[in-house]
Amino acid sequence: MKHIIKKLSLLLAVALTAACGDMKLQTDADYDYSVLDPHIPMTAWEYFETRPDIFSEFMAAIEYAGMKEYYTQTGREYTFLALTNTAVKAFVSTYPDKSKITDCPKEDVQNLLSYHIVDGFYSGYGELPVEAIFVLTLRRGEEGLMTMLTRKNPWMADAGAIIVNDTGTNGNSPMRKSVSCNIMPTNGVIHVFDSYCYYKK
């Protein structure tokens, strides 16, 4: 029985080798080297409109708060910390009797959005260092304190991410890491977060 199995295995190996005889060697493919351009030819608001699957709640919050003009204007560059639907729903859940963003107090939504607009252009392509710096949000006073940095160490799992309120840099504010970053519309730069940011003393 062993001899039959050995002979069948040898016969199968010879048949497979013979079947591969007509195959040609693979040729080198032409490689077109290019770097992705982070610039998009639209405003931040127009970008959000292209992604209602993740920004519909955020857009509803912006319109409810009456702050759409920040996202549509082109006269000044801002750093927009865009919130996904998950982040907006997490904010709404802090109000036990509310089920949607438009049920929350308008002033609270305005404060939330003001904290998520940074005055100036801060991308991970040179403007943000690897050490936390304080940035000026549109929310003034102590409640508007925020730090930002970028991770640049290639051995870190979050290399390239934008970090807001890194641990220990801004009181007891929770650290937030972008899920997407350095999207550059015509009126600034967008960093996307799955958790909303806030200052905590």
pLDDT digits (tens, 9 = 90+) for 117-143: 999 999 998 899 999 999 999 999 999
Measured N-to-C along each axis, helices 52-65 and 106-115 cross at an angle, to the nearest 10 degrees, of: 120
CA nearest to 197, candidates 140, 116, 136, 117: 116
From 67-76, 105-114, 157-166, 188-197, the region with the lowest mean pLDDT: 157-166
Assigned architecture for domain 44-193:
Roll (2.30)
Question: Is-above-0.85 flag for pTM?
Answer: no
